[in-house]
């Protein structure tokens, strides 16, 4: 039987109110999502020419925003061999910004999508060019504002094929797994007409709630908590993106995303349907939370509950 996890935070100082001054470059953010969701990327299916084009663009942007490679290489190659797909060479793209601590926060967003089907290109603007754009915006912010903890930015492959990129990342992590304090995962941030961005994970890790509650609403986006309780069925997002692989290993996570919309996994998930006023503010909310967590989070002690305690 799967065990749930509880965690205790040890803080060097009381939880601080952080000045939330992060403002992503909206023009660049929208350019990133537009390029990654163009027809020329062919839907970014793992192992395809479209995926290679997306990798080339993301790597150029990694260098532009100042991310450093581990051991001189941004690429982490792995293979996918499952009932769903066989991909001899899939590729995660990983860079980092060094902190004052050897403890790390891992920021993830998958760049793959589902490719082409029946003559239609599934461009995946929201799913998940939007997450990659926000990841790049966060990296640009912390390149100018050095973090306390080491921040690892991972654009993951193979999410659509069973969270394979996150699995490979944790099988050969760039830092010891025990040094990873938190995973912040972004998957679908750009299409929501109610101005709602969800932060999922506090059901499993309630000690994260005070950090999230310190994130102030932006003009066009506000943070909502939820979508993480087992009784919610399909509305429980715990296992629905790359953060689940971290959760499996007892690494706390916060998953940022919007609720499903009519374009989800449809050929209409195009740049033209991105909410261009909501998306920059949604990305800003994630960066605000990352600032708060980086400032205060020191060490996490993970304890497993017995079935009787759950």
Q: Tell me which residue range forms the domain holding 205.
A: 5-309
Angle at 256 between CA 85 and CA 114, to 5 degrees: 25
Q: Is 88 helix (H, G, I), strand (E, B) or coil?
A: strand
pLDDT for residue 23: 86
Using 50, 70 and 90 to split pLDDT, how confident is the model at 19?
very low
Q: What is the pLDDT of residues 23-47, one digit of tens each?
A: 899 999 999 999 999 999 999 999 9
For the chain, the straight-line distance linking the first and the last C-alpha, in angstroms and rounded, comes to: 11
pLDDT for residue 303: 54
Phi, psi of 56 (to 5 degrees): -60, -40
DSSP 259: P
For residues 25 and 15, give the distance between their C-alpha atoms in angstroms, rounded to a whole number. 28
Our measurement of the distance from residue 180's CA atom to the centroid of its chain's CA atoms, rounded to an integer in Å, reads 15
Mean pLDDT within 242-260 = 97
Count of Cβ atoms closer than 10 Å to residue 64 Cβ: 13
pLDDT for residue 91: 98
CATH of the domain at 130: 3.40.630.10
Q: Answer yes or no: are the C-beta atoms of 255 and 241 closer than 8 Å.
A: yes
Q: What is the pLDDT of residues 257-308, one digit of tens each?
A: 999 999 999 999 999 999 999 999 999 999 999 999 999 886 555 554 433 3
Mean pLDDT within 230-255 = 97
pTM of the model: 0.91
Number of domains in the chain: 1
For residues 297 and 145, give the distance between their C-alpha atoms in angstroms, rounded to a whole number. 17
Q: Answer yes or no: are the C-beta atoms of 114 and 267 closer than 8 Å.
A: no
Q: What is the pLDDT of residues 5-18, one digit of tens each?
A: 334 433 333 444 44
């Amino acid at each position: 039987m799967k065990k749930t996890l509880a965690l205790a935070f040890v803080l060097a100082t009381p939880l601080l109110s952080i000045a939330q001054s992060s403002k992503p470059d909206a023009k660049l953010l929208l350019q990133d999502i537009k390029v990654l969701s163009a027809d020329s990327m062919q839907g970014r299916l793992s192992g395809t020419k479209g995926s290679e084009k997306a990798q080339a663009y993301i790597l150029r942007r990694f260098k532009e925003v100042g991310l450093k490679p581990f051991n001189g290489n941004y690429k982490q190659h792995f293979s996918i061999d499952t009932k769903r797909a066989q991909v001899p060479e899939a590729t995660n793209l990983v860079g980092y910004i060094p902190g004052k601590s050897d403890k790390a926060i891992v920021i993830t967003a998958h760049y793959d999508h589902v490719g082409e089907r029946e003559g239609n290109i599934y461009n995946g603007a929201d799913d998940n060019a939007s997450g990659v754009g926000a990841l790049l915006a966060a990296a640009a912010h912390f390149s100018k504002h050095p973090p306390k903890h080491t921040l690892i930015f991972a654009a993951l492959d193979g999410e659509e094929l069973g969270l394979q990129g996150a699995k490979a990342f944790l099988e050969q992590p760039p830092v010891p797994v025990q040094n990873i304090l938190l995973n912040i995962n972004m998957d679908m941030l750009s299409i929501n007409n109610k101005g709602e961005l969800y932060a999922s994970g506090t059901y499993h890790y309630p000690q994260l709630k005070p950090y999230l509650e310190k994130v102030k609403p932006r003009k066009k986006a506000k943070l909502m908590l939820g979508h993480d309780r087992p009784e919610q069925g399909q509305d429980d997002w715990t296992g629905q993106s790359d953060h689940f692989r971290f959760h499996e290993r007892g690494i706390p996570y916060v998953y940022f995303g919007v609720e499903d919309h009519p374009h989800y996994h449809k050929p209409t998930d195009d740049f033209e349907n991105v909410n261009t006023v909501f998306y920059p503010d949604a990305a800003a909310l994630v960066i605000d939370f990352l600032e708060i967590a980086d400032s205060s989070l020191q060490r996490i002690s993970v304890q497993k509950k017995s079935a009787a305690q759950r």
